[in-house]
């Protein structure tokens, strides 16, 4: 039985100045926003540059999330796990100019196409690590049995592409191209039926964009330290997390009062019938809660399994989404929460389990279950509506043929709530990306988009109507290796 709470420390800081609290919250968020702009401007893939399927964030020396910009919710809650894993692995051996790369779900990743780049930030005086900057981007192809690296038929993680526990892509300022090719191209191709990355040039360019974005974050956070001093910066980093913590404690107390009970329960099901069960037990005196997923279905043979980092992403997102306050998403949101996940379930699967669908479908159902338990709003479209296609990979002789992959999440309708209608044709909850622009798609890929619009009447009628979904009709103008919805 896996159980965890957010890490926390209790230094003896003086009371926060409300003006400085707001100032630092916005300064920290502006670092993440600037990282995101840098990444978008320097990336070349459609998925990152156009669809904005990436996230950038700032982390404390202990790996806790400090601040982010409004990027992808499924990334932000789980990235702390990735930072902490690398800290435990490398300890104090990290030095200025080091940059780490990881995507393994068991090292804090979500699914394999989401590659995380982590950079330590050193104090220029003490040479101690004072922050981490990190960026996570969804790369359109990292190998595996099908182009796009999101195979709907995968039953093992080895079929889903390159898996990297930890790789120092930059060592003391020296970039390791050969090591990247080994991890991304050669190693995935060793698994029967799988190919290496089908377009390493694009992936490498985007990874370099992530490295540059992290470096931008390092420059900006060091400028803040120069302006205010490290002690003041760390003090307000603590205050911001404490503010989020107290806000969630108040939210939990209010939820129990509105429901008339301190036990909130909900259950929902995946398409294969697997249940996701949640029992929230609220301690009103403390303003804390235990989110217990006991009773959730066991690990499945397919790819709807979700690693525990994804579960925490869903929970921290819901806590922040239910707060009617303008505060940054940070680790403080999870301090009052204990998450209990049954081992061997589809929310805590084995290390070889396929997981690509868990990040985009199961995660969305988890959000639906949490919001249902808190009676916050109705469910959305239930998944992120993924479409992937491409070409290339191993030929009949086993040779790796250069190709390409494309991946997008198609919008749907958001659920209605007590007092509002749902919104039509939007990305909701776990995904916060754009859909591929029609003109760019038709220019870059062998296809024509015949129809893209709202699907009237599909959202559900009632006093408060659910948002309508969309229709997207695509014609391919040449043969492809595979076209797969997930």
Cβ contact 56:28 at 8 Å: no
Q: Is 0.85 topped by the overall pTM?
A: yes
CA distance 85 to 412: 35
Does residue 401 register a pLDDT over 80?
A: no
Question: Tell me, what's the pLDDT at 346?
Answer: 97
Does residue 22 register a pLDDT over 70?
A: yes
Closest-CA residue to 454 (of 469, 467, 437): 469
218: left (phi over 0), alpha (psi -120 to 50) or beta: alpha
Mind giving me the DSSP string for 384-453? Answer: --EEEEEEEEE-TTS-EEEEEEEEEE--B-PPPBTTB---SSB--TT---PPPPHHHHHHHSSEEEEEEE
Separation of first and last alpha carbons in the chain: 29
Question: Tell me, what's the pLDDT at 277?
Answer: 98
Residue-wise pLDDT tens digits, 412-459: 888 898 898 999 988 888 888 888 889 998 998 899 999 999 999 998
Question: Tell me, what's the pLDDT at 110?
Answer: 93
Residue-wise pLDDT tens digits, 200-221: 999 999 999 999 999 999 999 9
Question: Tell me, what's the pLDDT at 481?
Answer: 62
CA distance 348 to 296: 10
Question: Tell me, what's the pLDDT at 389?
Answer: 85
CA distance 35 to 131: 15
CA distance 40 to 71: 12
- Classify burial at 304, counting beta carbons within 10 Å of its beta carbon; exposed 0-12, middle 13-18, buried 19 or more: buried
Band of pLDDT at residue 339, cut at 50, 70 and 90: very high
Question: Tell me, what's the pLDDT at 14?
Answer: 82
Which residues are within 8 A (CB) of 185 and not within 5 positions of it... i.e. 6 or more apart? Answer: 143, 196, 197, 200, 400
Instruction: Determine which helix (DSSP H) or strand (DSSP E) holds 201, and give its type and residue range.
Output: helix 200-228
3-state helix, strand, coil in the chain (%, to 5): 35, 25, 40
């Amino acid at each position: 039985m896996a159980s965890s709470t957010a890490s926390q420390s209790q230094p003896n800081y003086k009371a926060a100045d409300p003006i400085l609290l707001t100032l630092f919250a916005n300064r920290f968020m502006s670092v993440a926003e600037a990282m995101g702009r840098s990444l978008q401007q320097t990336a070349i893939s459609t998925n990152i540059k156009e669809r904005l399927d990436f996230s950038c964030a700032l982390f404390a020396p202990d790996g806790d999330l400090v601040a982010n910009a409004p990027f992808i919710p499924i990334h932000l809650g789980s990235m702390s796990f990735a930072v902490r894993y690398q800290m435990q692995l490398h300890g104090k051996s990290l030095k200025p100019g080091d940059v780490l790369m990881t995507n393994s779900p068991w090292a804090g990743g979500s699914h394999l196409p989401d590659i995380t780049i982590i950079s330590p930030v050193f104090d220029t005086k003490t040479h101690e690590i004072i922050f981490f900057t990190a960026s996570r981007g969804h790369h359109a192809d990292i190998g595996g049995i099908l182009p796009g690296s999101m195979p709907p038929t995968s039953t093992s993680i080895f079929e889903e592409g390159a898996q990297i526990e930890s790789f120092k892509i930059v060592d003391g300022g020296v970039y390791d191209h050969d090591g990247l090719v080994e991890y991304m191209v050669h190693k995935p191709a060793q698994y029967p039926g799988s190919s290496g990355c089908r377009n390493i040039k694009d992936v490498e360019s985007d990874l370099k964009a992530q490295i540059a974005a992290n470096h931008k974050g390092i420059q900006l956070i060091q400028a803040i330290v120069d302006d205010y001093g490290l002690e003041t910066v760390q003090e307000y980093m603590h205050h911001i997390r404490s503010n989020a913590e107290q806000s969630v404690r108040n939210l939990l107390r209010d939820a129990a009062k509105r429901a008339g009970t301190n036990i909130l329960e909900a259950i929902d099901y995946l398409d294969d019938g697997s249940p996701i069960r949640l029992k929230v037990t609220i301690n009103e005196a403390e303003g804390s809660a235990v989110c217990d997923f006991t009773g959730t279905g066991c690990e499945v043979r397919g790819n709807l399994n979700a690693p525990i980092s994804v579960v925490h992403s869903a929970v921290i997102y819901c806590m922040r989404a239910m707060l009617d306050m303008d505060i940054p998403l940070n680790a403080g949101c999870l301090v009052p929460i204990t998450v209990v996940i049954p081992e061997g379930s589809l929310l805590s699967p084995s290390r070889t389990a396929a997981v690509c669908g868990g990040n985009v479908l199961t995660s969305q159902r988890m959000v639906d279950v949490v919001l249902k338990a808190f009676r916050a709003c109705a469910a959305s479209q239930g998944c992120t509506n993924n479409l992937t296609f491409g070409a290339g990979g191993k030929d009949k002789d086993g040779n790796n043929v250069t190709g390409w992959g494309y991946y997008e999440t198609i919008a749907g309708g958001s659920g209605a709530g007590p007092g509002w209608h749902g919104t039509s044709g939007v990305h909701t909850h776990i995904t916060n990306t754009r859909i591929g622009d029609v003109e760019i798609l038709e220019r870059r890929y062998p296809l024509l988009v015949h129809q893209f619009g709202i699907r009237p009447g599909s959202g559900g009628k009632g006093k408060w109507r659910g948002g309508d979904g969309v229709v997207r009709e695509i014609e391919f103008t040449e043969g492809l290796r595979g076209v797969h919805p997930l």
